[in-house]
Amino acid sequence: MAKCPECDSDLELEGYDLDVGETINCPECSVELKVTNNDPVTVTLPAE
């Protein structure tokens, strides 16, 4: 399961049809996360 790199909480992304390059917001800390892989889903903090 993907984890938020900011707050380390589990991201429940199962069943979401995410595309690489898409951005989502962490439900816990609201940080913006960029999808870097979708099988399995991995996210990273966008470069600042």
Residues of this chain that interact with Zn ion (CB under 5 A) are: 4, 6-7, 26, 28-29
Q: Specify whether the CB–CB gap between 9 and 2 falls below 8 A.
A: no
- Tell me the closest approach of the beta carbon of residue 39 to Zn ion, in angstroms: 22
> Least distance (Å) from Zn ion to the CB of residue 19?
20
* Closer residue to Zn ion in complex, CB, 25/37: 25
Smallest distance, Zn ion to C-beta of residue 10, A? 10
Nearest 5°: CA angle at 44, between 38 and 2? 55
From the list 17, 16, 3, 13, the residue with the least C-alpha distance to 45 is: 3
